[in-house]
Amino acid sequence: MERKRIFELFQELRGIENVVGVGNGIKQVRGENTGKQAAVILVKKKYAKDNLRRSAIIPKRIDGMLTDVVE
The pLDDT value recorded for residue 58 is: 95
The pLDDT value recorded for residue 67 is: 97
pLDDT in tens, 2-48: 889 999 999 999 999 899 999 999 999 999 999 999 999 999 999 99
pTM: 0.89
pLDDT at 61 over 90: yes
pLDDT in tens, 39-52: 999 999 999 999 99
The pLDDT value recorded for residue 36 is: 97
Q: Give the integer Cα–Cα distance in Å for 1 and 59.
A: 16
**Which amino acid does the sequence have at 71?**
E
Kindly tell me the burial class for residue 24, based on how many C-beta atoms sit within 10 Å of its own C-beta (0-12, 13-18, 19 or more).
Answer: middle
